[in-house]
A and B are shown apart, each in its own frame.
Chain A
């Protein structure tokens, strides 16, 4: 492959992704690509199969069948390579609460085999951007949730992954911090990091370049928010979501 081809290939390619648990089909022939630098919203009701698909894309679980490549690596045989080239952040757990901010950066930087000098530099840059350089030696447990979530995102992209998976990153966060968080997402995407994000806030679906909506293990819709609103003749993404998700049988 030439360099241009490398730059142009989608960061995620999923062809007929199927995952079965016994007789239950959690992911039923999913087909989608995610392009470099794109903000891709991965929506669906509870129980629609989102978590199953994310686990496969992160190399944590093997699909039953289908051809799936993440960051150019195969999800069947190259899971360790995938893990090195992605970042991950969830609402529930990301940072070690009894370590300081600097220690968390050092720990995660170490896991991603960054050089100590590089870790120091990235940590200083990211803290200065968040205007919390003075808090480097503060333990996470004593920080407000808003700052923690912004830090967790910074840590998830400190090794410059090709793609970062964000699983409900803004749950329970105040409305001002939620918006600041999305500005960070925009900046990361503009710098070439692909963003794969799930959310229950439908206004955030509007911030994505493209959105897929899963219902009962299938991708029921995939398009830009503007096109989805047009297709479903809806005033907003909330309406689109309710129309599609109401059909679900596997609700939880």
Chain B
């Protein structure tokens, strides 16, 4: 048997003049959490709709657990769990009715696979008789995940489950995913949050329907092509703009309280940058060499791709 759960070759999709997906190829190993990291409009939802057999690709091929997304769609649907980006449960059914409905569609009942969802469902069980439309955002998200899991899928596909969710709930959601991974479920998850990349086994950075890079988060940050400096200084905006023109500096961007400046390897150093900032009239800037994170890499790959 193949070590891969999902194999995708040259998948393309076009809507009129818009090339939503441009020959995407990637493979997802069995049992891994694979993240698609990219902004809105990158093509994440189109890709997931093709993988879940809801949309036909214009070109290329894709299979999940050896089943082709076009020819074997009936068999494939039985082993997939899908949580779309928009809340898609029945608003006027109660929490429990929704769960029973989705179990029923897969010729199962709530009890058969209850242990798999117990952790998640217990948190919304007190509201079992409330209509789904009346739940808060966080509770809807937990119900949608329960419904996607109730038939014990082999592969779980989650389209932006954490969008618009606060930092605490985001972290809890990821803890749930890591527990599901331990059950052996292969998980594909799309997110616009760069900081969630580190929670995936491997990620694909995606933008304008193309994959910019596929690898483990560590390998992606390791392949960053520049020296990176982390700078803290007064007059942040002015310093940032001036830095972009300084000898050897490739780019300068805001990162929270810091400026991240990337430079041609070996072209400059923290002391030089620090003296330059002093010459701009800002004393006591803190400059140090730093390791890039996924967002640094994404910005670099994005601007590389645009030129």
Contacts and interface: CB of A to CB of B under 8 A. Distances in A.
Contact of B138 (A46, A171, A174): A46
B254 A207 contact: yes
A47 B138 contact: yes
Nearest to A247: B168
A144 interface: yes
Interface residues of B, number: 34
A223 interface: no
Nearest to A171: B164
Contacts of B257: 206, 225-226, 236
Q: Chain B: interface secondary structure? A: mixed
Contacts of A168: 164
Nearest 3 pairs of A and B residues by beta carbon: A252-B136, A174-B39, A206-B256
A203 B256 contact: yes
A179 B163 CA distance: 19
Nearest to B296: A175
B50 interface: no
20 contacts: A44-B166, A45-B167, A91-B164, A171-B164, A172-B40, A172-B163, A173-B39, A174-B39, A174-B298, A175-B295, A175-B302, A177-B39, A183-B237, A200-B165, A201-B193, A225-B257, A237-B256, A241-B167, A242-B168, A246-B168
A172 B137 CA distance: 17
B253 A242 contact: no
A157 B135 CA distance: 35
Interface in B37-71: 38-42
B140 to A, nearest CB: 9
Interface size class on chain A is: 35 or more
A145 B40 contact: yes
Interface of A: 44-47, 91, 144-146, 168, 171-177, 179, 182-183, 186, 200-207, 225-226, 236-238, 241-242, 245-246, 248, 251-252
Interface of B: 38-42, 136-139, 160, 163-171, 192-194, 207, 237, 253-257, 295, 298-299, 302-303
A45 to B, nearest CB: 4
A91 to B, nearest CB: 8
A26 B235 CA distance: 38
Among B40, B41, B164: residue with most chain A CB under 10 A = B40
Given A173-B40, A175-B298, A176-B303, A251 B256 contact: no
Contact of B136 (A46, A200, A225, A242): A46
Given A46-B166, A175-B298, A207-B254, A242 B40 contact: no
Contact of A175 (B40, B41, B194): B194
Given A174-B39, A200-B167, A226-B257, 6 more contacts: A46-B166, A145-B39, A168-B164, A172-B192, A204-B256, A248-B168
